[in-house]
Structure 1
Amino acid sequence: MKQFIMKYLNEYMTGFYLPTLRLTDILEIIIIAFLLYQIILWIKNTKAWMLLKGILVLGVFILGAAIFRMYTILWIAQNLLPVMATAAVIIFQPELRRALEKLGEKQFLTSVVPFDKKGRDNVRFSETTVDGIVEASFAMGAVKTGALIVVEQAIMLSEYEVTGIRLDCIVSPQVLLNIFEHNTPLHDGAIIIRGDRIVSATCYLPLSDNMGISKELGTRHRAAIGMSEVSDAMVIAVSEETGYVSVALGGQLVRNITPEYLRERLESIQNRRAETSKWKTLWKGRQKHEKGAD
């Protein structure tokens, strides 16, 4: 029996290569799989998904040309490859920019290294601001007054702030109701809230390109989703047709929410800012201590 097994191994297993698997190899496979999964999710939620389908169809066509040895088509494809690569970068430029912005939103570095500008530590809004936003949002919903409120977080929205009219006023229910009242100069567009202050009104927001958005949603909700896709801002939309209050965050829209839910979401980003500020304070304190020790 032993001789039979050895004979089988010699005949059929000769030249069979079994690679050595190390712990770093397993880790590398996990990282690559995770990155590919994230890229697929990102592409699927943008208009790049349709462009990718077109590229896949073109790839299948070139593969067919290779199988049937269509050398002229293969020569054309080979010479057009650098041009196609450059064209892909140009076509996907908005999506690539959004992907890099999303990567920059991750908080694993900002809690350790103070990348933010000086003076951004005290942007945490107060409970009065939370109360004012919640009260005004549902008061406008009750009378079906459309509104779009952008609550800025870590990413500064200066490029969208300049599209509107600059303001500098404390957030309060009365101010918000007055801004979005029909036939007032500031009611059209969005307002941007930074900390406890309204910094701009009548702002233009980017519209989402997501093809999966319900056709029931109008421009206001598409703008809310679009803003949450290109930044870490929390956007509150009040429907003029239904009076529903909705929240967009991270490219996801939650419709017809309750006051409790809105308060919970506002307090969650408020606490996140507080935690970030705490780590930054500790970092600055450590730097000061080290400087004093020198």
Structure 2
Amino acid sequence: MPFSNYFANFTFLDYLSNVLDIVLVWFVVYKLLMVIRGTKAVQLLKGIFVIVMIRSVSGLLGLNTLSWIMEQALTWGFLAVIIIFQPEVRRALEQLGRGRIFSRNVMQEDEEQRRMIEALTKSVSYMAKRRIGALISIEKETGMNDYIETGIPMHSYISSELLINIFIPNTPLHDGAVVIQKNQIAAAACYLPLSESPFISKELGTRHRAALGVSEVTDSITIVVSEETGAVSVTKNGDLYRELSSEEFKKLLEHELLKVAESDDSSNRWSWRGKKSDG
């Protein structure tokens, strides 16, 4: 049967149902990818892709033994996946039962962001008063996995007590940056790229240069607490905003992470761009 004749007897409803079928399949695949993003299952998918490619190439080249081995790996791999990734599979099924795979709980995410902001504000205020040096980078749209891999994995719930404890001098994790990813402390003692800008003030140290450096290559928000002065600074998009008060710091995070709309009243309008440093 010629391929051109396959669609000859299709009605409009047939076309519509096929298109809807394809769209729904892609939607399900996309949502599943969002569920496993950032987990060990991502590496598994890469491995499966490599096996499929080897299976296809070996079949074309007539490498029968290799092709058979890859075929067996794919045939029995599904069972192995269920056994190895049993916790991830269970978590995905639990989320499906709660209806969280196909719908984002915006209110819950907003509440998590607010808890993170409160923890950051409390910990930064504590460290600033006691001149405890700190460097914290918050991932936004641009992935920071390259920098997370340079540190010590934590994947911990964010609390002010934990953040303070990490940066206490002479502790194993205090030297380096904390990277926050998806409202969790992904890793500590991470290395961030230093800015090579010649316009940076000589009075700024390595933490500020690292904060500026990562802000030049990502859209992250990076917080610096000076060990010498206790001053709180923030970098974003290659700009440095220095000597922020606790109130300004909290409003900054709310503005950037919660996208709080500015008040129509100009007297109540607050813009952290007014604190921008020249270097």
TM-score, normalized by length of structure 2? 0.54
Q: In structure 2, what is the equivalent of residue 227 of structure 1?
A: 214
CA-to-aligned-CA distance 1:164-197 (integer Å, 9 cap, x gap): 0000111111000100001111111000011321
In structure 2, which of residues 136, 140, 151 is the aligned counterpart of residue 149 of structure 1? 136
Q: In structure 2, what is the equivalent of residue 126 of structure 1?
A: 113
Q: Cα distance, 1:245 vs. partner?
A: 0.6
Letter in 2 for 1:172: S
Matched residues in 1 for 2:141 and 2:212: separation? 18
CA-to-aligned-CA distance 1:255-294 (integer Å, 9 cap, x gap): 1101111111211222249xxxxxxxxxxxxxxxxxxxxx
1:177 maps onto 2:93 in alignment: no
Q: Cα distance, 1:235 vs. partner?
A: 0.2
Letter in 2 for 1:199: A
In structure 2, which of residues 218, 223, 242 is the aligned counterpart of residue 255 of structure 1? 242
Matched residues in 2 for 1:197 and 1:232: separation? 18
Q: Cα distance, 1:155 vs. partner?
A: 0.9
Q: Secondary structure at the match of 1:155?
A: coil
Matched residues in 1 for 2:186 and 2:258: separation? 22
Q: Secondary structure at the match of 1:129?
A: helix
Q: In structure 1, what is the equivalent of residue 256 of structure 2?
A: 269
Q: In structure 2, what is the equivalent of residue 215 of structure 1?
A: 202
Over aligned residue pairs, what C-alpha RMSD do you find? 2.1
Give the unaligned 5+ runs of structure 1.
1-113, 274-294
Matched residues in 2 for 1:272 and 1:203: separation? 27
Q: Secondary structure at the match of 2:250?
A: helix
CA-to-aligned-CA distance 1:123-154 (integer Å, 9 cap, x gap): 76421110110110111011111000001101
Number of aligned positions between the proteins: 159
Q: Cα distance, 1:202 vs. partner?
A: 0.2
Matched residues in 1 for 2:251 and 2:141: separation? 19
Letter in 1 for 2:135: L
In structure 2, which of residues 159, 173, 176 is the aligned counterpart of residue 186 of structure 1? 173
Runs of 4+ in 1 over 6 A off after TM superposition: 120-123
Q: Percent identity?
A: 42
Matched residues in 2 for 1:126 and 1:152: separation? 12
Matched residues in 2 for 1:171 and 1:193: separation? 9
Which structure's CA Rg is the greater one?
Answer: 1
Q: Secondary structure at the match of 2:213?
A: helix
